Amino acid sequence: MRGASSGKGYELSNTDEILVDRCQRGENKAFELLLQKYQRRIFHLIYRITQDPDVVEPLAQEVFMKAYKSISSFKGDSRFYTWLYRIAVNTCLSHRKRGFLEENRERQLEANISEAFPKISSMQSENPEQLFMKKEFLRFLLNCVNRLPEELQTAIILREFTGLNYEEIADVMQVPIGTVRSRIFRARSRLKEMMTPYADQNIM
């Protein structure tokens, strides 16, 4: 069976559209299914932006609550996931403005890489020096991403970590596509400049 009738004059053709339509008719179970589908992606996005595992769950809860309350006003003029990501990005940026400290992010970044390091060593048989170099490099790279200006950081995270295309990023950030092109280009240029210490080594 292709699509389903929505009563809106056109057929719904994908899972999100059908689930959103059911949510708008009052089916809580449909929203539960949307939550199940996007929860991990939202956790991932929030973590990339905030770099703080302690705030991921409460912020994600806030994101889904906002989405649940405003689902009736979703007109379908964008994809559901870009609408949801927009809520997530704005929620993270608001959280940041509420007094997020740079020092905490630095410390958390170090802790995160330390926790991740065992995964690297178990997957690759390299000597300790090489592994150490890789660990330092990864830490430094993520630090650089988080030191980018907010608009450049959001654009590059949405592109590299979330996999959205330019049109979708424009929808999430509510800017023209030309602005997205510019921001991603500048973000990459800035990252390369920051990674200059590793330029002469066989990494970059």
Partner 1 sequence: MSCSQYGPFVSLYLDDELEKDELETFIDHLGDCVICQKEIESLERLRSWLRTADAFQGFPEPNIDKAVKDLFQEDLNENEASGIQSLIAQEASPSRSRKKRPRARRLSWLNPFGPSFSFPFQKAWQVALPLVVAVFAVVWFYDRPGDWVDVHELSSAQVLTTALPEKDTQEEDLYVIQHTMHQPWVSLGDELPRIQLASGSSR
How far is Cα 117 from Cα 56, in angstroms, rounded to an integer?
A: 21
Answer whether 50's CB lies under 8 Å from 95's CB. yes
Task: Answer yes or no: are the C-beta atoms of 38 and 81 closer than 8 Å.
Answer: yes
Residue 8: in which H helix or E strand, if any?
none
Q: How many residues of this chain bind partner 1 (CB under 8 A)? A: 45
CB atoms within 10 A of CB 17: 19
> Contacting partner 1 (CB under 8 A), which of 27, 32, 136, 150?
32
**Toward partner 1, which CB reaches closer, 12 or 145?**
145
Contacting partner 1 within 64-103 (CB under 8 A): 64-65, 68-69
Verify binding: residue 4, partner 1, rule CB under 8 A: no
The residue within the footprint of partner 1, chosen from 11, 27, 57, 110 (CB under 8 A), is 57
- Determine whether 137 is exposed, middle or buried from the number of CB atoms within 10 Å of its CB (0-12, 13-18, 19+): middle
Cα–Cα distance, 111 to 32 (Å, whole number): 33
CA–CA separation, 186 and 140 (whole Å): 19
Using CB under 8 A, pick the residue from 79, 161, 175, 179 that binds partner 1.
161
Q: What HEC string does 25-68 produce?
A: CCCHHHHHHHHHHHHHHHHHHHHHHHCCHHHHHHHHHHHHHHHH
Q: Which of 7, 36, 73, 200 binds partner 1 (CB under 8 A)?
A: 36
Closer by beta carbon to partner 1, 84 or else 184: 184
Nearer to partner 1, 6 or 142 (CB): 142
Q: Does 111 bind partner 1 (CB under 8 A)?
A: no
173 is a site residue for partner 1 (CB under 8 A): no
Residues that bind partner 1 in the complex, under the rule CB under 8 A = 28, 32, 35-36, 39-40, 43-44, 47-48, 53, 56-57, 60-61, 64-65, 68-69, 112-113, 116-117, 119-120, 137-138, 141-142, 145, 159-161, 165-166, 181, 184-185, 188-189, 191-192, 195, 203-204
